Amino acid sequence: MAAVEMPVEKWTGKVHEVRLGGEGRKSIVVGGETTLPFLHFEGSIPNRIAVAVEVQDQEPSDWATSLVSAWGDVLRDPGAWAKKAAEFGADIIVLRLRSAHPEERNTGAAEAKAAVDKVLSAVDLPVIVLGPEVAEKDNEVLVAASEVARGSRVALGNCMEKNYRTIAATAIADGHVVIAKTPIEINLAKQLNILISDIGVPVDAILMDPTTGALGYGLEYSYSMMERLHLAALQGDAMTAMPMVCTVGEEAWRQKEARVAEGVPASWGDHEQRSLLWEEFTAISLINSGADIVVLRHPKAVEVVKATIDRLMSQV
């Protein structure tokens, strides 16, 4: 019989390429895919999927003990923490300005500037700065972060439907990238990308966060939403073609399966391995549905996910 003919899809679109870092610090480009995840035979995947590591500007009070012991003392200092994350293999540092949350210490611009400065001087990796996700506070601390980070081309997040203007404007002024975050809905994601583009942010300076559901807690919604966004991008829709960021560590480690060691069913098994797998399964599933950057928490997960990305990036 004749040789089997491989079906190859002819995609017309492409995920936008977005560069972070540069000017004296390492730079990284994400996006640029012209096919579905890792289907090297039908298109190009010019940039490796990036692994970012989350650092907070204050010592986390609610982290699982296994996470705390994996990091140790550096959790008290964002600079030292970022440095250690770089040693563990982070491609990008994500600095979460958590202390600015009104229910935490409600810190303001000055503290934000200091934390961003610490991280930028501690490592030469590209940086993403996330606010506490409270609109007014985000505007305050991200504008401050933007100023300090001028020239380092960081990503500022998050632009939400209610407060994208200030953050987008400051990103344009200081030459940064923005992250557009929407709640697991394809039309909302597209609409916010359009709004942000309309006020002048170029498409090579927008990342999107379609909202991450952890394994067992809405993973399937994120998974399918991201597949739909990625397919729409490949079919030529430039407003769904922003590279995707997933806050995997934050979501996975919020769940009981990852956090709780005692008083759970025996069928949940060894806590250490289960909690790691919870983060890793969430990461690999979302990488296979189109993520360009996954933000992780556990150093071991960083190692395992990076090794898996290497395997997936290798041409068959």
Partner 1 sequence: MALTGIEIYKLLPKTNCKECGFPTCLAFAMKVAAKAVEISLCPDLSEEAKQALEAAARPPIRLVTIGAGERKVEVGNEVVMFRHEKTFYHPPGLMFRVNDTAAPEEIAKLVEEVASYSVERVGMQLELDGFAIDNKSGDAAAFANCAELVESKTDLPLVLMSSDPACMSAALEKVATGKPLLYAANKDNSDKMVELALKYGCPLAVYASDGLSELAELTEKVSEGGVEDIVIDPGARDFAQSLTTLTQLRRLALRKSFRPLGYPIITFPGEAAASAEEEALLAGQQIAKYAGIIVLDRFSPSVAYPLLTLRLNIYIDPQKPIQMTPGVYQIGAPKETSPLCVTTNFSLTYFSVAGELESSAWASWLLVCDTEGLSVLTSWAAGKFDAEKIAKSVKEFDVAKNISHRSLVLLGKVAVLRGELEEELPDWKIMVGPLEAMDIGGYLKQHWTA
Q: How far is the CB of 96 from partner 1 (least distance, A)?
A: 16
Q: Which is nearer to partner 1, 170 or 289 (CB)?
A: 289
Q: Which is nearer to partner 1, 39 or 172 (CB)?
A: 39
Q: Which is nearer to partner 1, 18 or 208 (CB)?
A: 208
Cβ contact 30:18 at 8 Å:
yes
User: Measured between alpha carbons, how far is 69 from 7 in angstroms, rounded to an integer?
Assistant: 49
Q: How far is the CB of 134 from partner 1 (least distance, A)?
A: 12
User: Measured between alpha carbons, how far is 228 from 223 in angstroms, rounded to an integer?
Assistant: 9
Q: How far is the CB of 277 from partner 1 (least distance, A)?
A: 5
Number of Cβ within 10 Å of residue 70's Cβ equals: 19
Q: How far is the CB of 133 from partner 1 (least distance, A)?
A: 10
User: Measured between alpha carbons, how far is 259 from 244 in angstroms, rounded to an integer?
Assistant: 26
Q: Which phi and psi (to 5°) does residue 204 adopt?
A: -85, 15
Tell me which residues touch partner 1 (CB under 8 A).
1-7, 36-41, 183-185, 215-221, 223-224, 227-228, 231, 254, 256-257, 259-260, 263, 265-271, 273-274, 276-278, 280-281, 284-285, 288-289, 304, 307-308, 311-316
Cβ contact 56:62 at 8 Å:
no
Q: Which is nearer to partner 1, 24 or 266 (CB)?
A: 266
Q: How far is the CB of 27 from partner 1 (least distance, A)?
A: 26
Strand spans (E) along the chain:
17-22, 25-31, 50-56, 92-96, 127-130, 155-159, 177-181, 206-209, 244-246, 291-296
Q: Which is nearer to partner 1, 122 or 305 (CB)?
A: 305
User: Measured between alpha carbons, how far is 176 from 169 in angstroms, rounded to an integer?
Assistant: 10
Q: Which is nearer to partner 1, 87 or 220 (CB)?
A: 220
Q: How far is the CB of 241 from partner 1 (least distance, A)?
A: 18
